[in-house]
Amino acid sequence: MPKMRFVALFVSLLALSIVPASIAPARSAEVATPDDTARFLAGLPPSPESPLAALTKDPTWQQHARYFDAIFGQVDRNHLSKIRAFSKERLTDTHDTMLYMFSGPDALHAIALFPKASTYVLSGLEQTGDIPQLTSLPRNTMARTLRSLEASMNSLLTISFFITKNMGSQLYQGPVYGTLPVISVFLARSGKTIRETSFVNIDDDGNLKPAAGEPRLKTVARGVKIVFTSGDGPEQTLYYFNTNLANDGVKNSGFLAFCANLGEADSFVKSASYLLHGSSFSTVRNFLLDHSGTILQDDTGIPVSYFDAKKWQLQPFGRYVGPIRVFSRNYQSQMAELFRRGRPIPLDFGLGYRWRTNETSLLLAEKIDAPKPEAKPVPLAAPKPNPAPLASSSKPDPAPAVTPEAADPMAAPAIAPEASSKPN
């Protein structure tokens, strides 16, 4: 479809979210459940007995629901369904724990890639926010709240990642703020039922404690715990922690001790601003190498030079064309060589900063000493030496070219929902 048609469709959908700032308040001061709140914000009807049910009759919410139906419908057909197929075929030897460092509120890809994990741990610098009490919002606030929620999710739903500098303004404004509402929407739109939501802290030893009554210390990793189910399936738990993953921030937070207590994990890294390439994040990099049975990542993750060929089995997917221009200094010659001779398997979806399908690269690293199903790729030979430092080197490796706040990878227009998905 021509680019201008995509842009026109997207603009028309955005126009649907520009609505009058009035919406009828809830008729009850009763507090809605976390699941009903998530469904309402996701444009899905809450339970009939919910105090939010009356609000779904308002045209403002109905337009919001049609917009989310359209864009989530396209994302599922053209993107998430292909990721789920990739997961079913390629991620067959998974663990109970899934770690997603530098994730922000991106529960959508975590669940699509690792649907059977019993525990998900997401982390980032973004605040957790609060459980919004929508029944008490002023009459003139609800429409603005729904528009802000749509805007905060736009980049992930169109190009598969959040833009850090935009999240600072979109996730911190208004009565519905932080990562919790976004994560709740993603869970609801993934067909999950939220059973429990609570706030937690991690002490220095990695022990989980209720946040209520705990002192607010800078070194403490603060987070939210969400228990959810898929239909009649077993309970699963997702944690999101607001914590600094740089060496000086993570050393005293207890966050990595908490993750270690969960056992060997599947780890995922995407759109991480190449932070794991630099010495300032060596602690988290080494932790992932030591505690992961599987690492799935784009090229912003751990450099190839850190994977010992005697310990790791590497399988490339897609096409490595190098970093986008703002991160050009993070080009990996060893990665290029791996893709040249490592028989990369084609991908039919895009992901990360190189979100176009013919530019996306993924690397699946699996520990050789971990149990493996049949028909796995043969371990690759050790890559040729690279000027980049090896894990055992004492020489500091170069810092990333820019900080995540300075990066703005949205050089291309957002992808609009298809014409057949356009709301009425």
How does pLDDT run across 63-79, given as a tens digit for each residue?
A: 999 999 998 998 999 99
Question: Per-residue confidence at 46, pLDDT binned at 50, 70, 90?
Answer: very high
Whether residue 93 is contained in a domain is answered as yes
Compute CA distances 200 → 197, 212, 220, 255, whole Å.
10, 8, 10, 12
In the sheet that 361-367 helps form, which strands lie side by side, from edge to edge? 208-210, 193-202, 221-229, 236-242, 119-124, 97-100, 265-269, 292-297, 361-367, 312-318
> Which parts of 279-378 fold into alpha helices (H)?
282-291, 333-341
Two structure tokens written together for 289: 């190498």
Look at residue 353 in the predicted model and tell me its pLDDT: 92
- The answer to whether residue 196 is domain-embedded is yes
Confidence of residue 423 (pLDDT cuts 50, 70, 90): very low
Residue 87 lies in a domain: yes
Average pLDDT over residues 302-329: 96
Predicted pLDDT at 135:
81
The overall average pLDDT reported for the chain is 80
Predicted local distance difference test score (pLDDT) of residue 144? 80
Q: Tell me, what's the pLDDT at 4?
A: 43
pLDDT at 162: 47
**Structure confidence by residue, pLDDT tens digits, 344-380:** 999 999 998 998 889 999 999 999 975 544 434 434 4
Within 10 angstroms of residue 140's Cβ, the number of other Cβ atoms is 12
Confirm if 93 and 150 have CB atoms less than 8 A apart.
no
3-state secondary structure of 372: coil
When divided into structural domains, the chain yields a total of: 1
Q: For the residues 314-328, what does the mean pLDDT come to?
A: 96
Please give the Cα distance from 401 to 179 (Å, whole number): 27
Helix axes 179-189, 142-159, angle to 10 degrees: 70
Q: Tokens for 392?
A: 């055992």
Q: State yes or no: pLDDT of 301 exceeds 70.
A: yes
Bigger pLDDT: 87 vs 140: 87
Helix (H) or strand (E) holding 369: none
Q: What is the pLDDT of residue 30?
A: 78
Single-letter residue type at 183:
I
Where residue 226 falls among pLDDT bands split at 50, 70, 90?
Answer: very high
For 114-133, b/e burial (b = at least 16 CB within 10 A) is: bbbbebbbbbbbbbbbebbe
Question: How many whole angstroms separate alpha carbon 262 and alpha carbon 416?
Answer: 40
Query: In 48-149, where do the E strands start and end?
Result: 97-100, 119-124
Q: Which of 156-160, 311-315, 327-331, 344-348 has the lowest mean pLDDT?
A: 156-160
Work out the percent of the chain whose per-residue pLDDT is above 90: 58
pLDDT band at 400 (very low <50, low <70, confident <90, very high): very low
Within-domain flag for 121: yes
Q: Are 316 and 338 in contact (CB under 8 A)?
A: yes
Distance of alpha carbon 338 from alpha carbon 354, whole angstroms: 18
Domain containing 57: what range? 3-271+409-421
Confidence check: pLDDT of 28 > 80: no
Look at 190 and 134; give whichever has higher pLDDT.
190
Whether residue 58 lies inside any domain: the answer is yes
Give residue 142's pLDDT. 80
